[in-house]
Amino acid sequence: MKNWLMPDKDPFKAACKQCRTTMVAELTNLKSHAKGIKHKQMEAAEHTIPFLAADHLPDLLKECFPDSKIVQGINMKRTKTSAIVKNVIGVTAKEELSDILKTRKFSILTDESTDISSVKTSCVVVRYFNQKTKIVVSKFWDLHPVYTENACIATAERLFTLLMESFSKFNIPEANIIGFGSDGCNVMMGASNSVASRFKEKFPGIFVLKCVCHSAHLCASDACKELPQNCEDFARNVFNFLKSSSKRQAEFLQFQSFLQVEPHKILHPSQTRWLSLNLVIGRILEQWQALKLYFTDIWLNQRLLCAEHIYKALNNPFTKLYFYFLEWILPKFTRFNLYFQTQKVVITELHDMVIELYQVVLLCFLKREYVTQNLTDVNPKNSQYQVIDRNLYLGAKVMLHIDDKEIVDNNICRKDFFERCWKFLQNASCEIKKRYNMSDEVLSKLSILKPQNAVSLAYRENCPSSIPLIKVVPRLVDNDILIQQIDDQWRNLPIALAKHPNEDIINLPVDTFLWKIQNYSNTFIELCTFALDVMCLPHANADCEWVF
């Protein structure tokens, strides 16, 4: 509560130190104010330093630099500071970015969110190669309200119009737009009447991709619907029982100390479903024995109804078996999700990592000879190639405990456990197949730009030309002479790099690698320009999420 003052006149009122707003001293009011527009407008542009500091900074600088005429002439408080940031620095940054977009190919990322004042806004981010930093970057472009007094419907037509107007008023050439990325909601990515369909109609050949992070999350969430609801309820009940009572937490700490387990707190299960529960599950399994002993004591001595449900779940061997399964399978989706929540260029890895994730899930419940054929022909629901229950792979811990006596003795629950886990795996693989094209004509060809492939003569035996990639990204190159130059340079690249054996460039990020190649000589300018433009294609929507 260090950011709040209690006014002397009214002990029930609190005043924000940052923006001097007074309100009733209730926790809900304080939290709501901290998230509000007025409060956030008092923060500086970086490091969340409040603009209120500008009331004191000029005086401090004058004392620190008494011999500087410039410093002695500074007269600027928080009002002028905020005006400069919003009306000078912000406007200048937007103009500089627009000048860059007039000369470079770029992709558009967008997402919508509703703030605490129920105002729905649309965020626009652009992804391009920055000549100054020599890497591909994602930069905030615009934030505009979705609804106005004259337009209260968020149709695809309106969202698309707002997007295009934000670029047209800065005279940015439409020919420079090469990609579009967003989440998978119907208004954005629907097949016939969406923002994506309008981009495809207006810009033939544009690359459109649903956010792979959203897709991975939805795959896991849909699959988890096949598991018993009481698994999630159990995790929530444990947290809720302990969260509001310092006495209960202190008592539980004694049981942790007695069993010599780490004194970690039970984590809060998020409402965003199972990917967020990955850490929660790991923590509960870590504290399982302490929890079991603690709730046994609570149930025997206090006979609380809420403790009874937790006590029974902890003593049900199948509850722990489900948690063992989730502890193994969920990190596969989580690691995939986290890998693509980055501004770095990882689009060259996307196709291979989706294929790997898909195969890993399939091999848990289908025969290997069926999975290793052409993946586009694999049907996860083909019961002909399904392995028997005993051969389902559900993680090492499940395999270690599936033959425990208390599990084997309850054959009905054991069979139900196998069936639910099998349905989880089948549903997850079906969702992956539905949300990703295993033979995507663009993503499947991007591997030729990986540094290790670009410099390998052996790789060129199977991939002697860059034409297959050039053909599927027509908005990047449409000149036959330029296409020939790019392909010649691609074919000559391994030979040229062989002259620099001491250059360790294979392990560099792909955008840095391409920039270095461009600086070896002027013979690879067209190839590197094309390849760096390809690296600007979107892979996820995390950049927009960070803006919010």
- Count of other CB atoms within 10 angstroms of residue 276: 17
| C-alpha to C-alpha distances, 527 to 164, 383, 521, 534, nearest whole angstrom | 29, 48, 12, 11
The pTM is what? 0.81
Q: Are 359 and 375 in contact, with CB atoms under 8 Å apart? A: yes
Weakly modelled stretches of the chain, pLDDT under 50: 1-12, 41-44, 274
At 34, is the secondary structure helix, strand, or coil?
helix
pLDDT at residue number 349: 92
pLDDT at residue number 1: 41
The whole-angstrom separation of Cα 102 and Cα 529 is: 15
DSSP 288-336: HHHHHHHHHHHHHHH--HHHHHHHHHHT-HHHHHHHHHHHHHHHHHHHH
Region of residue 109 (left: phi > 0; alpha: psi -120 to 50; beta: else): beta
pLDDT at residue number 6: 40
164-191 pLDDT tens trace: 999 999 999 999 999 999 988 888 998 8
Handedness of CA 54, 55, 58, 59 (dihedral sign): negative
Strands 22-24 and 13-16: antiparallel
Beta bridge partners of 128: 137
Of the candidates 377, 338, 362, 331, which has an alpha carbon nearest to the alpha carbon of residue 424? Answer: 362
pLDDT at residue number 133: 87
At 137, is the secondary structure helix, strand, or coil?
strand
295-309 pLDDT tens trace: 999 988 888 888 889
Task: List the structure tokens of 61.
Answer: 């600088």
Q: Are 200 and 208 in contact, with CB atoms under 8 Å apart? A: yes
pLDDT at residue number 231: 87
Of the candidates 180, 216, 199, which has an alpha carbon nearest to the alpha carbon of residue 544? Answer: 180
pLDDT at residue number 88: 85
Q: Are 175 and 183 in contact, with CB atoms under 8 Å apart? A: no
pLDDT at residue number 4: 43
